[in-house]
Amino acid sequence: MANNKKKNMTPTQQEYQALAKEKEPPRPIGKNCFRAFLVGGFICLIGQGLMEMFKAWFDFNDKTAGNPTVAVLILISVILTTFGVYDKIAQWAGAGSSVPVTGFANSLCSAALEHKSEGLVLGVGGNMFKLAGSVIVYGVVSAFVIGILHLIFGTGGQ
């Protein structure tokens, strides 16, 4: 706990925190890391397989195969979220399922499903981006800044 917060606590609260920390079971960090690696790697393996499929079956190249691959991964994530499967995977895998693009799709779909009873506009539309909105804003602002930097410092002949 941060020292500033600890200073504001009464002796009873500090004693309780010490007792709670003593009774807390140890976290299985190694097991959690392995699970995250396993599931995140499996999601990436599926993505690579889809990408190779688009290149082999539809004559895409490395650059053009990325967009349909991401779209299919998002679709799979939304379908699994709708049926409640992705949440079980995420609970078991932890960060391994939230880091790829499928985790972002899961967060949007989960919020939409949770608020669908409030209507399409105020429920789904108004609440779907509460969790993911900051990610979208950060991505747009980052892309804008990188675009400006590329315009100023870029080679220009592209």
Write down the pTM of the prediction: 0.71
* Cα–Cα distance for residue pair 35/51, rounded to 1 Å: 24
What pLDDT is stored for residue 155 in this prediction? Answer: 66
Q: Which two tokens stand for residue 79?
A: 């379908």
What pLDDT is stored for residue 26 in this prediction? Answer: 86
Q: Is 102 exposed, middle or buried (0-12, 13-18, 19+ CB in 10 A)?
A: buried
**Closest of 43, 42, 66, 41 to residue 53, by C-alpha:** 66
Q: Where are the domains of the chain?
A: 34-153
Per-residue pLDDT of the chain (158 residues; tens, 9 = 90+): 455 565 688 888 888 888 888 888 888 999 999 999 999 999 999 999 999 999 999 999 999 999 999 999 999 999 999 999 999 999 999 888 887 788 888 888 888 887 877 777 777 777 777 777 777 888 899 999 999 999 998 865 55
